[in-house]
Structure 1
Amino acid sequence: MTADPREDRLPKWAQTALASERSKSAALEREIGKMRETVEWSRISYGDLYGFPQYIPDERYGPQRVRFTVEGEQSSKYHETGDIEVSMPEAGVLELRGSRSLVLRPHVSNVLRVSLRKWSEW
């Protein structure tokens, strides 16, 4: 990123801060570029799915699971958070596991919403 010509009129500390932020930004851009080069296409992706998806390396139909914490805060104890895990045990099949019972609600013809059963509903 090029510097704005008006930056010469800023105090030195502000010029230094902007240069530092540009340097950090450039380093992060390089890291993102490396990540995109090292992780090839896989069946698991996230982010901007139609522009620049981020791929997660996957094992063909196996134990790899993606966890979504949908309730609570970060915890090392699985039962203290509301988690839903998704895996693909075989071709064409997704398996969902919840830390509690799952509630499945049709939304539209090609969307299914999944949530955890509330403790109060037990």
Structure 2
Amino acid sequence: MVRCRRGRYRCARRIENIPAVTFYEPTGGSPPSTEVVELSYVELEAIRLIDLEKLTQEQAATRMGISRRSFWTDLASARWKIAHALVNGHAIRMVGGHCSGISRGNGNQGGKENAKI
């Protein structure tokens, strides 16, 4: 567990895979910004479950092993970061976090059971 700002421990979120590509950079148009927006694997997993798998918030929170409120916070953060990067021409880097049950790539290969990446 990781300690949060105010003393509570942050529960490890369960994610199903780590993306094979971890960096996106804008091309074309004006010169790209040097700012890089960091999107955690947890935030990316929240986007994947809601927007790609079309799960409800309750189903997605259950899959990640967290409350709906915690899930909503991760999802809102991910959506804001992605919108900020796309609108302002910033690069996006996927970074680790406090996760459990992860596997690399398409989710079919074995991975670490508990990890702070």
Considering fraction of residues, name the structure with more strand. 1
Same fold (TM over 0.5): no
Higher relative contact order structure (alpha carbons within 8 Å, sequence separation ≥ 6): 2
**TM score, norm. by length of structure 1:** 0.23
* TM-score, normalised relative to structure 2: 0.24
> Which of these two proteins has the greater Rg computed from alpha carbons?
1
